[in-house]
Structure 1
Amino acid sequence: MVVIRLARGGSKKRPFYNIVVAESRERRDGRFIERVGFYNPVASGAEQPLRVALERVSYWAGVGAQLSPTVARLVDQAKKATAGQAPAAAAAEPAAAAAE
């Protein structure tokens, strides 16, 4: 079975997680099929705490991959963040076109 889960990286006391598509029988930090994002729980300043390729996650979920509970929560956060940014980006485009 294919799962979308977190693979831990980073150093001691400084976790960094890759969001990966992997066979469920592989080790947590072992071989994976595709990396679809990352999660940095200790991001500060201008560092990006979460990046998810939502179209790749939806593709893998569509072909039967199971999301771990934590990844499902992170994907929901990413969807909310992109939904909040989309109207602002759409509103900026007409203003830029009118300025030309």
Structure 2
Amino acid sequence: MLKLRLKRAGRKGSPSYRLVIMESTSRRDGRPVEEVGYYNPITKQYKFDIERIKKRLNEGVQPTETVISLLKKADIIKSK
């Protein structure tokens, strides 16, 4: 099953994350199927490829809870 989740990048003490699509059984920092954006929690900057994310969500990719909250803040998915 494919998941839309965060992959950690950056050095120790200053994390940044890439928003990736990868197998649910692979490790956190493993090879992704596709990278669709990034998020920096320190500066609160993010950039998402909205078209690719919506396409993948329609194909059945399951986002994690953290990713869902990020996508709601970016108005990519609607709050229920």
Q: TM-score, normalised by structure 1?
A: 0.72
CA RMSD, 1 decimal:
1.3
2:47 to 35, 38, 51: 51
Per residue, is there more helix in 1 or in 2? Answer: 1
Offset from partner CA, 1:11-40 (integer Å, 9 cap, x none): 111000000000111110101011000000
Match of 2:63 in 1: 67
Size of the alignment, in residue pairs? Answer: 76
Identity of aligned residues (%): 39
Which segments of 5 or more consecutive residues in structure 2 lack a partner in the other structure?
none
Report the structure number with the largest CA radius of gyration: 1
Larger relative contact order (Cα-Cα within 8 Å, sequence gap ≥ 6): 2
The runs of 4+ residues in structure 1 deviating greater than 6 Å are none
- Structure holding more strand per residue: 2
Which blocks of at least 5 consecutive residues in structure 1 are unaligned? 81-100
Q: TM-score, normalised by structure 2?
A: 0.89
